[in-house]
Amino acid sequence: MFFRDQGEMLPERPAPITEVGIVGWLRINLFSSYGNTALTLVSAALLALIVPPFVAWGLIDAQFSGDTGAVCSGVGACWAWLDQRLGQFFYGFYPADAHWRVNVTALLLVPALLYVLVDNLPGAKFGRWFSYVYPLLAAYLLVGGFGLEVISTDKFGGFMLNMVVGLTGIVLSLPVGILLALGRQSRLPVIRLLSITFIEAVRGVPLITLLFVAIVLLQLFLPPEVSLDQLLRVIIMVTLFASAYMAEVVRGGLQAIPKGQIEGAQAVGLGYWQTMRLIVLPQALRISIPGIVNTFIGLFKDTTLVIIIGLFDLLGHARLLQTNPDWIGDVDHEAYLFSAAVFFVICFLMSRYSVSLEKQLSQDRH
Amino acid sequence: MAAPSSTRIEQLGYLWTDERLRGIAFQVLAVAGLALFFAFIIWNTAANLKHAGLASGYGFLLDPASFDINQRLIDYESTSSYGRAFLVGGLNTVLVASLGIAAATFIGFVVGLMRLSNNFLVSRIATVYVELTRNVPLLLQIIFWWVVILALPRVRDSISVADVVFLNNRGIRMPQPIFEDAFQLILALFVAGCIGTFVLARWARKRHELTGRTFPVGWSAIGLIFGLPALSTLFVGLPVDLDIPLLGRFNFEGGFNVTPELIALWLALSLYTGAFISEVVRSGILAVDKGQIEAARAVGLPPGLRTRKIILPQALRVIIPPLTNQYLNLTKNSSLAVVIGYQDIVSIGETVLNQSGQALEVISIYMAFYLTLSLLTSLMMNYYNKRTALVRER
């Protein structure tokens, strides 16, 4: 056997060129075997087939300015309508001189959300209160009254309508969902049965049937002298719908709380509601946040269903553009692609947030 | 020990601190409140219906529907009853849901595996697909695909695939198989093959447990299920004729047409749900403990058996519950068909509602239909969970 003397180390050599740098990366990730190489080639061919024509259509050959569809050649995409219609896509038929009210509401949403979702912000105590008051403030700004010009809710439309229905639905469904989740875990059999029935019945039917209830049945259920605003009716049904899903998310959080927490609370003499409010729910809701965000993403996408009952949200305005004589036939795909892009950006960011939160929570627990 | 001086009032006060009694009181209150709420609704509804001069009840289901349904799996004329129209709609929902479930499962498994691939490009393409479809409203996707199909060439300039399948803005025209009588023989053999395989598999498993000897069940299954019918065609010939579509004066003649609505709905539902299923599949496979795979390697199981006997059974236990949930979602989402006019149960119900004004009845039919579907699914799910649940030691 041969032993090298300790002093006599071989000089370090760089790793072979095939293992490091771009070449190494390519070898490991794309061409590690014959099968892998074949997959890479097929994927690359697929991309080459799809991406360049799409970019050419959407950007290079596209028409970006003009007043009617006549300016569009038909070779590339027609984005000329954006200039005229962007306002409608975001604000619907909300009066132009009141757009600032929507903008202010949207801007205030940022601190309102941050104070709920992020701990240890400066001025947290005041901030929390601001978050609680925000829904009322938003309603006041959007609808008006008390000095502001009243704007009827049938003027609500475009992306703003999606936001209003989605956010109101999720905010209102949270307390209902918490109660339902507690009810489902309750030791009282009647309460448990009622909660389970409600949750499973609502989760078992599509949202669209509930929206039909909102437009054709709700009026039937109420005395004739009570007439509910259409948006309000939609929000009621969307809230009921979301609260059933919310209940299941919160239940997941409740089940993750160790029994010792409840027993501890009982040992120090807390009653049921005190135990829940002070001990269990703060912990359960904390771990439910990713689930709540996911529920919101789902609900937010589902707000497009309002077009079925005749409201004009972002998707509704995209459809409206197709029938406009100035643009008919020229914007078949463009308006939908634009709407899809708007939804994508919002939902994608939220889902990233939910994922990162989930990672953080699982780290905290270990 | 009660203090002898306590009055009746004080004793009543103690009742409130009794947890059981308080629970009962709370429940009675809840039921009473609910009963009042329903009484209020029923009272109002009765009054409103009377005021509008509408009769309630399901008798209208026997009245003639007098509207047409293009997309139908069973016979239906415009003189058929509302009840039959609902049946046609329900079947259409089941049709698009089953087509969608099959395609979404396929897409989901393929894309789920693609995302786990070591190949950078493949996993990235899969990720982009998943994120793009998951984060855009399904309704938008349905409308988008519908618009895409309607933008296909007109009938005269159909895109033809091998001159038997034609793609145009009225959908896809495909050859229709016409089965001759002898086909029943093949069908019977196929069924017999399936039953035979089932019996054989049970026998083989039992023998394996008793004696340790294995039997090539897979190959014999292929032989029984496909071989037998194939063999019989040698004697009776292939008893299936194809009715190939031919371009006539105005439209194709022969073959059968798949409507743009069905294609768009099917495409959108499968792509959307497929993305969700791929996530389910991915997390299911990732949930299998690495030690399991290493152990399987250590005892020398070949890759195929490793996947089949070690990874898949454990991954499926995690995958199947959320997978059924996705199936249920797909079925419920098929109700969005109403936007593009695919005649599913909701779309037909809406027409019936507009014609007859029987809102309460129509919506109750919707709910009953979807609730039955989800109830059946969750019953099956509970059964499956019970069978595959891990027996944990405490």
Identify the domain containing residue A48 by its residue range. 21-60
Q: For chain A, give the percent of residues with pLDDT over 90.
A: 33
Q: Based on the domain organization, do B92 and B231 belong to the same domain?
A: no
- pLDDT for B389 equals 67
pLDDT at A208 over 90: yes
* Residue A287 pLDDT: 86
Do A333 and A203 fall within a single domain?
Answer: yes
Measured between alpha carbons, how far is B98 from A13 in angstroms, rounded to an integer?
61
Taking CB atoms and an 8 Å limit, are A209 and B41 in contact across chains? no
| Closest-CA residue to A334 (of A72, A70, A158) | A72
Q: How close A32 gets to chain B, by Cα (Å)? A: 8
Interface of A with B in 272-301 (CB under 8 A): 297, 301
Report the C-alpha gap between A60 and A172 in whole angstroms.
46
The verdict on A35 and A170 lying in the same domain is no
> What is residue A83's predicted lDDT score, i.e. its pLDDT?
81
Domain membership flag for residue B49 = no
Q: What is the per-residue pLDDT for B14?
A: 67
Contact list, A212 vs chain B (CB under 8 Å): 350, 353, 359, 363, 366
pLDDT value, residue A3: 61
d(CA A176, CA A246): 8
**DSSP 8-state class, residue B160:** E
A55 and A163 part of one domain: no
Residue-level pLDDT at B394: 41
SS3 A11: coil
Total number of domains in chain B: 2
User: Which candidate, A254, A253, A138, A263, places its Cα nearest to that of A186?
Assistant: A254
In a domain, B365, yes or no: yes
Q: Phi then psi for B72, rounded to 5 degrees?
A: -150, 145
Instruction: Kindly tell me if the per-residue pLDDT of B272 is higher than 50.
Output: yes
Rounded to whole angstroms, the Cα distance separating A255 from A185 reads 9
In sequence order, what are the residues at sequence separation of 6 or more whose Cβ sits closer than 8 angstroms to the Cβ of residue B4? none
Residues of A in contact with B376 (CB under 8 A): none
Best probe of the B interface among A304, A319, A333, A348, by most B CBs < 10 A, is A304
Say if A193 is an interface residue toward chain B (CB within 8 Å): no
User: CB distance A333–B148 less than 8 Å?
Assistant: yes
- Record the tokens describing residue B243, joined without a space: 């009715």
Whether residue A361 sits in one domain with residue A329: yes
Give a yes or no: residue B146 inside a domain: yes
| CB-based contact A315:B140 (threshold 8 Å) | yes
Q: Which long-range contacts (CB under 8 A, 24 or more apart) does A27-35 make?
A: A29/B118, A29/B119, A29/B120, A30/B119, A30/B120, A30/B121, A32/B118, A32/B119
pLDDT tens, position by position, A214-273: 888 888 888 888 888 889 999 999 999 999 999 999 999 998 888 899 899 989 988 888
Cross-chain Cβ contact B119/A221 below 8 Å: no
**Are A219 and A267 in a shared domain?**
yes
A46 Cβ under 8 Å from any chain B Cβ: yes
Residue B393 is predicted with a pLDDT of 44
Q: Is the pLDDT of residue B177 over 80?
A: no
User: B186, B217, B240 — which closes off a domain?
Assistant: B240
Question: d(Cα B230, Cα B351) in Å, to the nearest integer?
Answer: 47
- How far is C-alpha A273 from the geometric centre of its chain's CA atoms? 31
Report the alpha-carbon distance of residue B383 to residue A209 in Å, rounded: 29
In angstroms, rounded to a whole number, what is the distance separating the alpha carbons of residues B94 and B96? 6
The tens digit of pLDDT for each residue in B64-93 reads 887 888 877 888 887 888 888 899 999 999
Helix (H, G, I), strand (E, B) or coil at B131: helix
Residue B16 counted as domain residue: no
Lowest mean pLDDT among A137-146, A220-229, B325-334: A220-229
Whether B2 shows a pLDDT value over 60: the answer reads no
Domain that holds residue B121: 85-175+244-393
For the cut 60, the answer to whether the pLDDT of residue B6 exceeds it is no
CB within 8 Å: B335 and A208: yes
- The DSSP letter of residue A6 is T
Residue B274 CA to residue B104 CA, distance in Å, equals: 4
Please tell me the distance in Å from B367's CA to the nearest CA on chain A: 6
- Residue A266 in domain: yes
Partners of B125 on chain A (C-beta within 8 Å) are 43, 46-47
Confidence of residue B1 (pLDDT cuts 50, 70, 90): very low
**pLDDT interval class at B18 (50, 70, 90):** confident
Do B334 and B373 touch, CB atoms closer than 8 A? no
A315/chain B closest Cα distance in angstroms: 7
Residues B221 and B330 in one domain: no
Q: What average pLDDT is seen over chain A?
A: 87
Which one of B221, B240, B259 terminates a domain?
B240
ipTM of the complex: 0.87
Q: If you measure CA to CA, which chain B residue comes closest to A186? A: B23
Go through B349-364 and write b for each residue having 16 or more CB atoms within 10 A of its CB, e for each that does not: bbbbbeebbbbbbbbe
Count Cβ atoms within 10 A of the Cβ of residue A57 and give its class: 0-12 exposed, 13-18 middle, 19 or more buried.
middle
Minimum distance, in Å, between the CA of residue A103 and any CA atom of chain B: 24
Once rounded to an integer, what is the mean pLDDT over residues A2-6?
62
Number of domains present in the structure of chain A = 2
- For residues B201 and B306, state if they share a domain: no
Comparing CA positions, the residue from B87, B65, B75, B79 lying closest to residue B352 is B65
DSSP state, residue B58: S
With contacts defined as CB-CB under 8 Å, which chain A residues touch B136? 301, 340, 343-344, 347
User: Does one domain contain both B235 and B286?
Assistant: no
The verdict on a CB contact (< 8 Å) between B335 and A36 is no
> Could you give the angle at the alpha carbon of A78 between the alpha carbons of A72 and A83, nearest 5°?
105
Domain boundary among B201, B220, B240: B240
